[in-house]
A and B are shown apart, each in its own frame.
Chain A
Amino acid sequence: MHRTLLAVSIGVVGVGATLALPLAAFGATTPPVLTQSAITGPCFVSGKFVSEGDTKTSAQYSPQSTVLVPKADTVDWFGDENGAKLGYTGPVRSIDGAIQLSLPLSFNVTIWHWSGDMSARYSNAGQEVYNLPSVLAGIKLKLSGHETENGTQTCDGSVYVEFKGSKFSNPIGWAAAAGSLLFLGGLVFAGFRKSAPAYDDLNP
């Protein structure tokens, strides 16, 4: 599961391991917002879903965008900072970044973390293959990410991700719906008054 989420985050977010913040968005369910990037700062990410033949970039989406992600695909991702070409090296700096899954009450689960004390790279690229289970079909997650350089936050951003596939093909949904009915019955039963034995039964 961890590996699956990692692969998705790569595909969805397209991270550069030594580079800047990666929060990309691929395949939208909401119209792309061209005036605001999913990333705040000088970072940029793009990704191409090989099977779908669709390329998306972080500049096409806002933090409110929902990105529809295939359940299985191969993603060619690229990321840069300040438009650096792939292979460009610059001043060495310490970097630290992460991709996180947002949970209620501001809890976050880190699904990918990168860091380095002497990083000279300002761009990166790679390819990831992933295959998700059907229990994730229709589920919407918020992925956020950030990168700090020399202790100062350089980029941060977020995007919502939803996995393609029929919601009704998700077995977890059916099980949860059945459980809801079952426990609702128990809840109603708990609200029925218990009857004590009749006076005549106790005092014949």
Chain B
Amino acid sequence: MAKSRRGRPILGAVCGFFFGICLSVTVLVYAGIALNSILYVILPIGGLLLGILLGLVGPFHRKAKQAATT
């Protein structure tokens, strides 16, 4: 029987931070929000925190395979 553990908080932090940065640039180019907006600080920090949280909580999981019985 497999024991479920938490996710990957470090990977989540890195991916969340860069997701926030990329999203900031996307918003900058396509949404027409000026560069001085506080949004461009909030998104990377928010992504970082979200990534850590997701990694710690681990809300997603794969279906456990049924162990074969003999």
By a beta-carbon cutoff of 8 Å, the part of chain A in contact with chain B is 101-105, 137-142, 160, 162, 167, 170, 172-173, 175-177, 179-180, 182-200
Residues of B within 8 A of A192 (CB): 7-8, 58, 60-62
Number of A-B contacts (CB under 8 A): 145
Contact for B35 among A140, A172, A188, CB less than 8 A: A140
Q: Mark B6-36, 1 if CB is under 8 A from A, else 0.
A: 1111011011101101111110111011111
Asked if A176 and B3 make an inter-chain contact with CB atoms under 8 angstroms apart, the answer reads no
A198 to B5, CA, bound (A): 12
Asked if A190 and B2 make an inter-chain contact with CB atoms under 8 angstroms apart, the answer reads no
- Across the interface, name the chain B residue whose C-beta is closest to A106: B36
A184 to B43, CA, bound (A): 13
Asked if B1 and A199 make an inter-chain contact with CB atoms under 8 angstroms apart, the answer reads yes
Q: How far is the CB of B10 from chain A (nearest CB, A)?
A: 8
Q: Interface size for chain B: under 10, 10 to 19, 20 to 34, or 35 or more residues?
A: 35 or more
Asked if A173 and B67 make an inter-chain contact with CB atoms under 8 angstroms apart, the answer reads no
Q: Mark B48-64, 1 if CB is under 8 A from A, else 0.
A: 00110011011111101
Also in contact, A190 and B8, with CB within 8 A (given A102-B35, A104-B36, A105-B41): yes
Residues of A within 8 A of B60 (CB): 188, 191-193
Q: How far is the CB of B2 from chain A (nearest CB, A)?
A: 5
A-B contact pairs, 25 of them (CB 8 A): A137-B29, A138-B32, A141-B34, A176-B24, A177-B26, A179-B18, A179-B25, A180-B19, A186-B15, A187-B50, A190-B15, A190-B54, A191-B58, A191-B59, A191-B60, A192-B61, A193-B7, A193-B58, A194-B7, A194-B8, A195-B5, A196-B2, A196-B4, A198-B67, A199-B1
Given contacts A104-B39, A140-B34, 6 further A-B contacts (CB under 8 A): A103-B35, A104-B40, A140-B33, A160-B34, A186-B19, A192-B58
Asked if B55 and A191 make an inter-chain contact with CB atoms under 8 angstroms apart, the answer reads yes
Contact for A195 among B4, B25, B50, B54, CB less than 8 A: B4
Asked if A173 and B7 make an inter-chain contact with CB atoms under 8 angstroms apart, the answer reads no
Q: How far is the CB of B52 from chain A (nearest CB, A)?
A: 9
A131 to B38, CA, bound (A): 29
Asked if A187 and B16 make an inter-chain contact with CB atoms under 8 angstroms apart, the answer reads yes
Residues of B within 8 A of A184 (CB): 15, 19
